[in-house]
Amino acid sequence: MTRQDRLKAAEELASERILILDGAMGTEIQRLGLEEEDYRGERFADWDSPLKGNNDVLNLASPDAVVKVHRAYFEAGADMVETNTFSATTIAQADYSMQDLANEIASEGARLARLAADQVAEETGSPRFVAGAIGPTNKTLSISPDVEDPGYRDVSFDDVHAAYSRQIEAMAEHVDFFLIETIFDTLNAKAAIKALLDLRSAGTIDADIPVLISGTITDASGRTLSGQTTEAFWNSVRHAKPWAVGLNCALGGKELRTYVREMSRIAETRVLAYPNAGLPNAMGEYDETPDETAAFIADWAENGLVNIVGGCCGTTPEHIAAIAKAARGHPAREIPKRPRAMRLSGLEPFELAS
């Protein structure tokens, strides 16, 4: 199938039922028990710094492991998987002195996800989709890393825009969607959105590749790390006309429900949500079982809050199988038509009706 055929299929499926996204790549990689040598492979055997923990470099060093994870999620019932490219930017890869390899890591991550998707589609006769994962980077534009110098930033907007531009261009050949995700700083997300729009405008990438956008409510304050409420966040990114918008990470399904409900009320597009497997325990691990996670998502589905669901930190193929079962039989959320108004945002939303 061509990308246009897959996008048409995705539109049709999304009108019929709730779509299923995959679960956590990092959790599955941990469960594989990979060691330093797996992260190095033959190519990076003599790399000067440790590589274990750089999950994205597995696209080059241990590609079979990455394909194995993608297939496990598809076989569990996912319609769509995210590429293993959450940190495939020059900014994030600099932590491993791999900034010069960021483009190759991103391109290969997209190719491996496409390979797995096409394999499963051929085996099952049903289309499978790939979302190019674009993470927030390890640098923030809105918050100073130096408590004694609030105006200091490690990077500029132009730096972040350039890094995202390279990542997006590297993945474009193989993905069906771009997914700007785990957004804790909306200004970083705006750099990614601008990079995408600029590449489309220049004709560097196909203009028909839709974007999915997912923010992160960090705690019970109901705000992103940079301070925005759910509605303010949506007002900040709605100009990108995303195929879907939603929330992921930081919270489990129980804690995230309030904010998913709010996004469902205000977003004039599809809503996606992929919570963690509960809150982490004292050891930083996730104890919520697949059935427990699925029960929360079943509630969202029964109440018409979502169009796409999946899992974030701590979720596994078993969680996705349970989520797919819980969502089955429930229609997708109806996209609301809101009255025309000027909608702005800072940390809070502002609406001026016509």
Q: Is 312 annotated as a binding-site member?
A: yes
User: How many angstroms separate the first and last alpha carbons of the chain?
Assistant: 45
Sequence-ordered list of residues with C-beta below 8 angstroms from that of 299, at least 6 positions apart, any chain: 257
Give the residue carrying structure tokens 């979502």: 306
Residue with the two structure tokens 């589609």: 121
Q: Burial of 290 by CB count in 10 Å (0-12 exposed, 13-18 middle, 19+ buried)?
A: buried
Was 313 annotated as part of a binding site?
yes
Buried (b) or exposed (e) across 76-107, using 16+ Cβ within 10 A?
Answer: bbbbbbbbbbbbbbbbbbbebebbebbbebbb
Q: 37 among the known binding-site residues? A: no
Q: Are 215 and 190 in contact (CB under 8 A)?
A: no
Report H helices in 211-353.
Answer: 230-237, 253-266, 290-302, 317-327
Q: Which two tokens stand for residue 38?
A: 């797996």
Q: For residue 270, what is the enclosing H or E element? A: strand 270-276
Binding residues for Zn(2+): 249, 312-313
Binding residues: 249, 312-313
